[in-house]
Structure 1
């Protein structure tokens, strides 16, 4: 890839805050054509008055395979995505790879791979501090990535976006920068039981330091948050609610906007973990009214080691540096140091520049599809998978909340989850087994471990059939 190629692919930014062609949103940014705005009838993020098109909304009686080799007008075929993802065409143990571990990490399209190679091969430089041509080019690419993330999340400005290594670092940044200044003895941090450990442990560490309390919000029998219990636990002592927009183990999609509105009545801030949500449906942080929103690039078809934190500008501007070093200062003297404005104040040192370039390419790739059609396809695929796996004797799916993403966590009678994953791997099928960094959620079902198949836009009904067939053979062989 030459410099002009990199420039065309990765620098779609002009002065100000650009908006590519698409559907305008209230803040003046734009989303790709076909994107459903949160709260609209087609909104798969929840919070609207019309039921979103999640798998549970699909017919439960023998759903038809959603496979289609060519996308119909206004529709989506997984082949549109699969043709761009090289690793999906390899073999594992003599079988074509069936990648069903998307909840752990997603595979990367060639556009992302080529963007990384092109950057390192033709444009590599440090950013912000160089006066030479390549430093300016790298800086423009980096800031183009920030603008793209802001558009993708519906943020008002690129200045509301801080680059981090991923969701975990973003949550720890909020805990250590904002939390230390705003939490004290007797304050409550509400955390639902369905959360990933990354949205539990940082708050436990902070609570120990500040003598605040981490208060678990229980789940209902279906794996959804007990909203009555949540309402009862909110009080004037509540300083923060930390909730995922989609569970990595149950697939549950909580009504985040309603939960946020209720928390704000008590003056509490809300942090939304979007790690599992952003790849599955559009997000608008302003419509959610989230105070903080975090996600990881590697779960969004981008490289590992890059992610983003969104925060409302008035909150971000009040956050003290978490780490010190280069890039986050204006002037340094042994008697006095002044800090750069946000977001740079919270980005000490040399960031993952190539990671931002890859993230930009991933966002360009994902938003090139009609995301409403993608969500509808994933909904139908999830329904098909639920019906197909129901035919496997002894298989039990966890979670039946009315709103969920395409996550299938299950147990199989008589088989350890790790042994299930090893068996499937012999057939080239990759699933996750273990506690999924969500031990409290599994404990809700009396479990310490389970197997998980998690779907993405490039998965097919044929792959679901292969999963079910392999599990049936496992049952028959024992």
Structure 2
């Protein structure tokens, strides 16, 4: 096991708990809690507002945090990253403040109806608002195992395609999208939801086909209410900046992205804590995290396949490759909520319910491992699942 449960106060407080819902939210490690506490104990100044030493120091710490997070995400420049309250707000920002300029002359927005609602809905709203400008929302499909259907994507794509909205790692199936395998028109801009990628698998945004991306901090050991939006420099000209709302003063201006996305008072403490989370992950090695998760996912898949009535809802785990650690299954004849409750009684926490999808399967249950889980956690899950299957 790479990360010890001892690094996470929430887990050490409940030593008999098997927490398998990291895709919803991760506990904060002690290092992040310490950083956040230190920030709150320190000088209470608004970054970029004021010329006194407290304000200048707050601004310096904010920009240091930005540089650290940008490096972790693989951005070329720190000013390509702005802080947000999470991935949901970041995606809405892109649709509201980047999208109208990018689609001023019309075009198609390609999206997958089977993706997270927070990824899809902002772009559907934009298409509805701009339909008189010739903007359309064109869907593409995933297959039954959660993989994007390349043939259906090719059908949806055309020379009208202006924006491709995609999910890097699917929040239910755990599958990762290979953008290079899709027939993306050369002139299209790719917007990528990386909420389930950051903290699990390497992100090298500068080398990616994606020029826009969003990240959720509370899924990568950062505090709740943190996240980032990434916009490559070449796309900054398309961002609508409200100059009256943007922070004033040359010391505060970083880029059109930060001017537009970081209006109002910023959570400097949250930004510093998120940067601390990236340092925590860098200290372990993100490649090692993906390998660890692959081992746990493979152990679970192998064991679950031998339990009668269990159907795995994602593709097989590839041997030797990294994995998101996210897996989904269904148990014949049982609702997902009932299976989750049966596991909860054994102190095993998983995710059931709507999974934030449009029309999901009611029997789907998701487990999501992370670096604090080990083989014993997987075995307890399999024992609980076998017991639930016997009740049917």
Q: TM-score, normalised by structure 2?
A: 0.91
Note the C-alpha offset of 1:171: 1.1
Between 155-164 and 175-184, report the one with greater CA deviation: 175-184
Of 117, 123, 135, the residue aligned with 2:55 is 135
Counterparts of 1:407-418 in structure 2, within 5 Å, are 407-418=326-337
Whole-Å separation in 2 of the counterparts to 1:450 and 1:171: 26
Structure 2 residue 365 is matched with structure 1 residue 428: no
> Hey, what does 1:86 align to over in structure 2?
9
Structure 2 residue 316 is matched with structure 1 residue 397: no
Whole-Å separation in 1 of the counterparts to 2:123 and 2:9: 39
Structure 2 residue 364 is matched with structure 1 residue 455: no
Whole-Å separation in 2 of the counterparts to 1:370 and 1:312: 25
> Hey, what does 2:139 align to over in structure 1?
216
Contact 1:86 1:109 in 2 (8 A): yes
Contact 2:17 2:348 in 1 (8 A): yes
Note the residue ranges of structure 2 that are not aligned, 5 or more in a row.
none
Between 175-184 and 293-302, report the one with greater CA deviation: 175-184
Q: 1:389 to 1:439 in 2, by over 3 A?
A: same
Contact 2:231 2:257 in 1 (8 A): no
Q: Where does structure 1 differ by over 4 angstroms across 4 or more consecutive aligned residues?
A: 401-404
Of 237, 260, 285, the residue aligned with 2:160 is 237
Contact 2:102 2:238 in 1 (8 A): no
Note the C-alpha offset of 1:324: 5.5
Whole-Å separation in 2 of the counterparts to 1:235 and 1:402: 33
Contact 2:141 2:152 in 1 (8 A): yes
Of 279, 282, 288, the residue aligned with 2:208 is 288
Q: 1:224 to 1:401 in 2, by over 3 A?
A: farther
Contact 1:323 1:348 in 2 (8 A): no
Counterparts of 1:47-196 in structure 2, within 5 Å, are 77-78=1-2, 80-91=3-14, 96-183=16-103, 187-196=107-116
CA RMSD, aligned part only? 2.1
Contact 2:293 2:371 in 1 (8 A): yes
SS at match of 2:218: helix
> Hey, what does 1:348 align to over in structure 2?
263
Contact 1:195 1:438 in 2 (8 A): yes
SS at match of 2:307: coil
Contact 1:176 1:322 in 2 (8 A): no
Contact 1:248 1:276 in 2 (8 A): yes
Counterparts of 1:193-204 in structure 2, within 5 Å, are 193-204=113-124
SS at match of 1:214: strand
Of 273, 283, 296, the residue aligned with 1:381 is 296
Contact 2:179 2:209 in 1 (8 A): no
Counterparts of 1:3-82 in structure 2, within 5 Å, are 77-78=1-2, 80-82=3-5
Q: After superposition, what is the alpha-carbon deviation per residue over 1:33-78, rounded to whole angstroms, capped at 9, x for unaligned? A: xxxxxxxxxxxxxxxxxxxxxxxxxxxxxxxxxxxxxxxxxxxx23
Whole-Å separation in 2 of the counterparts to 1:205 and 1:343: 22
Greater helix share, 1 or 2?
2
Structure 2 residue 351 is matched with structure 1 residue 437: no
Whole-Å separation in 2 of the counterparts to 1:248 and 1:197: 11
Q: After superposition, what is the alpha-carbon deviation per residue over 1:328-382, rounded to whole angstroms, capped at 9, x for unaligned? A: x459xxxxxxx98423311110122211011011001000013222222211111
Q: TM-score, normalised by structure 1?
A: 0.76
SS at match of 1:202: helix
Note the C-alpha offset of 1:141: 1.5
Contact 1:113 1:358 in 2 (8 A): yes
Note the C-alpha offset of 1:83: 2.3
Note the residue ranges of structure 1 that are not aligned, 5 or more in a row.
1-76, 332-338
Whole-Å separation in 1 of the counterparts to 2:41 and 2:96: 37
Note the C-alpha offset of 1:435: 1.7
Contact 1:252 1:401 in 2 (8 A): no
Q: How many residues in Structure 1 have an aligned counterpart in Structure 2?
A: 382
Contact 1:389 1:395 in 2 (8 A): yes
> Hey, what does 1:263 align to over in structure 2?
184
